[in-house]
Amino acid sequence: MTVKELMDLHLYELVNEGENTDREISTPYCCDLLSIAMSSAPEGGIWFTVMANLNTLAVAALTETACIVLAHNASLDEGALAKAKSEGITVFRTELPVFDAAVLFYERVKNASV
């Protein structure tokens, strides 16, 4: 599934539409500790986290994460939103907890590929 296709599904609320939305999403990834995400977030992945600050976006940019889903209704402050825009990162949010948010994505992808 591409980032654009995920946007069109409206599974999560869109916070920022980034660049390269035609990009294929590789693997779902869940983590809230930045230095762990830094070394293990998959390139092109969809990253589920409750951490919604500037540093999350910096890590996403450096690891070339395809998009971020902020769980538990975490919201970006102004600075972080500006960073999402300048780095061209697509960000969604949802009221679901991290696991449920990730499962929702996983189920869709699994069904789509059968």
Partner 1 sequence: MSSSLRFEYQVSGEDFTRAGEASSDIKHKLKQMGVNPTAVRKVAIAMYEGEINMVIHGGGGEILVDILPDKIVMDLIDHGPGIADIDLAMQEGYSTAPDQIRSLGFGAGMGLPNMKKYSDEMDIFSTVGEGTTVHMVVNF
**Nearest one of 102, 85, 89, 77 to 11, comparing CA atoms:** 102
Strands (E), the chain: 13-16, 28-30, 46-49, 67-70, 90-93
- Quick note: the x/- pattern for partner 1 over 8-37, rule CB under 8 A, is ------------------------xxxxx-
For residue 12, which phi and psi values (nearest 5 degrees)? -130, 160
Nearest distance from C-beta of residue 108 to partner 1, angstroms: 27
- Give yes or no for residue 65 binding partner 1 (CB under 8 A): no
6-65: contacts with ligand ATP (CB under 6 A): 34-35
Q: Give the number of residues in contact with ligand ATP, rule: CB under 6 A.
A: 2
- Give yes or no for residue 113 binding ligand ATP (CB under 6 A): no
